[in-house]
Structure 1
Amino acid sequence: MEKEDSKRSKEVAAGEKYKSDVKSGKDTSFWYDNWTPLGPLISISGEDGTRRLRTRPDASVADVRNTTGWALPHPRSEEEVTLHTYLSSIPVPSPDMGTDSFSWTVEGDSCSTYSSSKTWEVLRPRGTTQASAKHIWFSGATPKHAFHMWVTNLNRLPTRDRLSAWGMQVPLSCCICSLHPESRDHIMLSCPYSLTLWSEVARRLRCVVPNFGDWLRLFIELTLLYTVWQQRNNMFFNQTLSPPLVAFKDINMQVVNSITALRTRKNFRALMQLWLI
């Protein structure tokens, strides 16, 4: 019982928002449930509070009352004074009042049932939305391509320069071209292999420097970077590498498949014509 109560305390401390409406007090933990405005009492008094209030860690609210009222010693701290003040303002729990009930409160809204999705939205850390997010997590993006782009954008790919910085004994030269040190910028932008792919994209789009500001170009960018890293890993682990023009055929197929899957959506209807012309 103590282990379960301790676990419940940690969950509450982590941000779980639930509230007990005390009636009989039999189903509500005195220490670990959220039944007072102070929150779970164990979180403000600590484990030593059970000794000061002469109340077992596994006690229910019903266990802390007697025939005349609340069975608690005189307060000896500010927190205990606040607790006594609150208890004096509410009815003493009684079996005649019915059974205890629990509800979840998520961002001020009371829910009769627990929702893991709503709780996750409240608990997860939130940072400032990055300007690059709209170019990565855009509507219609292939999830694995978008995730890879996010990792690439943060420079978290395990390229050889980063592996070496972690203390691993690996060659520093690029897995694909062996001409320059392997870094994110090199392998994605200046390696002869990736340059050939970028050139094919520019030729297909009839532009020298593609401006990745529309849906089609975003599709291409994510797919190309994913393919380059895929080929790099084939070389790193299997010592095999597809010729760049063969890899571009795969990029073309993936872009066509993505557009086809989204052809009924307004923003994507004209993309096939733009890509194939």
Structure 2
Amino acid sequence: MVSSLKLIWRLTSQQGSLWAKWVHTYLICNGNFWAIKESTSLGSWIWRKLLKYRDKAKVFHRMEVHSGKSTSFWYDTWSDMGHLYDVVGPRGCIDMGIRATASVASVFNRQKRAHRVDVLNQIEAVLENQRLKAVDAEDTPLWKQKEGTYKNLFSTKRTWHLIRQAAPIVNWHTGIWFQQATPKYAFCTWLALHNRLTTGDRMITWSSSIDPACIFCQHGIETRNHLFFECVFTAAVWTKLTRGLLGTHFSTNWDSILSLLVSNTLDCRVRFLVRVVFQTSLLSLWRERNERRHGSTPTPSASLVKFIDRQVKNKCLSIPVTGNQRLGALLQLWFASQA
């Protein structure tokens, strides 16, 4: 959504984007972006998607009026009343005697009227106030940065924070989204933390014909905690990889492992390696589980250990030694733990 809002900002900010000029020439023509019907047959699917996001963009976009020449009277937000067309509808254009295509500047010389409808009198008062403040300068497009603050720039970060639903910060986030994390491993781990992987206990709720038993050991229902790492097969893989690294802190319990990922009691190098092994093991075992579910030839645990070991070594080698004293000698530590 934020990327769509950014494209809308380019269309309405008049800042010289080649794409925006093309859209204004061939799709908007002499009309107004806010007034185009969603049912239009022009443009691609992304153009029609932008039209659908206009209601969301109206909350963020407004015009700072100076001369009023480039601000639409009905369709731009130039006062605290918002989009006036949304307030009074097509009937308002008739009652006020102002064309739907009129700019703010074009109605400055219009004679003020008295109306029987209060909202129309409010619009007249806002227009009169704007007429008194008019100066000979270009109007400025603005974008919302935070509540009550607008600037002549688009901030992806601030826009995202305004549209998203904020949630409490969880204590495990540093153990998953750390600086050197591999995105695909981190994402799969994030899904597992939210218990969104399609494990047997979840699939049985969708269809009673599905076998919910663990594909590795065939004992009990396959849950996330069982799969990582209470199952005999997965526990053997995890034990082989981390027993020497964790020592007395070793555990196959899901909650205990999560606490180790963010624990300050572990050496930072050990903690880093545990994070890498955990994420790599989780994705590798999940792939093996899916392949077995779909009839592929089972991979022995020793082969999985060898594959994960190779991935951990590659990660250690990918981290530059210079300028990173905290994570120095990672490969030596890993070799020592596997001896």
TM-score (norm 1): 0.81
The C-alpha deviation readout for 1:58-113, integer Å capped at 9, x for no partner, is 4333487263445x652623x5554443323222698x835433233423765544
C-alpha contact 1:53 1:73 (8 A) present in aligned 2: no
Match of 1:106 in 2: 145
Cα distance between partner residues in 2 of 1:75 and 1:139: 64
Q: Corresponding residue for 2:79?
A: 36
Q: Partners in 2 of 1:194 and 1:225 — Cα distance? A: 9
After superposition, the Cα gap between the structure-2 partners of 1:110 and 1:68, relative to the gap in structure 1 and judged at 3 Å, is closer
State the aligned residue count: 273
Query: 2:209 matched to 1:166?
Result: no
Residues 11-47 of structure 1, C-alpha deviations (whole Å, 9 max, x = no match)? 354565233133443432223322113333345x264
Structure 1 SS opposite 2:130: coil
State the shift of 1:160 in Å: 1.9
User: Which structure shows the bigger proportion of residues in helix conformation?
Assistant: 2
Q: Which residue of 2 aligns with 1:27?
A: 70
Correspondent of 1:179 among 200, 205, 219: 219
| 1:136-215 aligned within 5 A | 136-167=176-207, 169-205=209-245, 207-208=247-248, 209=250, 211-212=260-261, 213=263, 214-215=271-272
State the partner residue of 2:289: 232
CA change 1:168–1:14 in 2 (3 A) is farther
CA distance in 2, matches of 1:202, 1:62: 70
The answer on whether the counterparts of 2:34 and 2:75 sit within 8 Å (CA) in structure 1 is no
**Aligned mate of 1:262, from 319, 324, 333:** 319
Instruction: Provide the residue aligned with 1:248 in structure 2.
Output: 305
Measure the CA separation in 1 of the matches of 2:116 and 2:131. Answer: 19
The one-letter amino acid of 1:261's match is: S
Normalising by structure 2, we get a TM-score of: 0.68
Write out aligned runs for 1:78-117 (5 A): 79-91=119-131, 97-107=136-146, 111-116=151-156
8 A contact 2:96–2:120 mirrored in 1? no
Which runs of no fewer than 5 residues in structure 2 stay unpaired? 1-30, 39-50, 252-259, 264-270
Match of 1:274 in 2: 333
Contact conserved, 1:160 with 1:174, CA < 8 A, in 2? yes
Q: Distance in 2 between matches of 1:267 and 1:75?
A: 74
1:267: how far off? 3.0
* Cα pair 2:236 2:301 within 8 Å, conserved: yes
Q: CA deviation at 1:51?
A: 6.2
CA change 1:239–1:68 in 2 (3 A) is closer
Distance 1:248 1:49, change over 3 A: farther
Residues 3 and 98 (structure 1), Cα distance of their counterparts in 2 relative to 1, 3 Å cut: closer
* Counterpart contact for 2:64–2:141, Cα < 8 Å: yes
Q: Take 1:147 and 1:250, find their aligned partners in 2: how far apart are those partners?
A: 19
Alignment of 1:65 with 2:124, yes or no, is no
2:112 is the alignment partner of 1:50: no
Distance 2:212 2:195 in 1: 17
Distance 1:175 1:118, change over 3 A: same
Write the letter of the residue equivalent to 1:166: W
For residues 205 and 75 of structure 1, do their structure 2 counterparts lie closer, same or farther at Cα, with a shift above 3 Å needed? farther
Match of 2:109, as an amino acid? T
SS at match of 1:207: helix
**Aligned-pair CA distance for 1:141:** 0.9
Runs of at least 5 residues in structure 1 that lack an aligned partner in the other structure: none
Output the CA distance in 1 between the equivalents of 2:130 and 2:246: 76
* Distance verdict in 2 for CA 1:175–1:220, change over 3 Å: same
What CA distance in whole angstroms lies between the structure 1 residues aligned with 2:219 and 2:160?
A: 47
Deviates more, 1:139-148 or 1:19-28: 19-28
Partners of 2:88 and 2:334 in 1: CA distance: 65
Kept in 1, the 8 Å contact 2:64–2:139? The answer is: yes
In the alignment, which residue of structure 1 is the partner of 2:17?
none
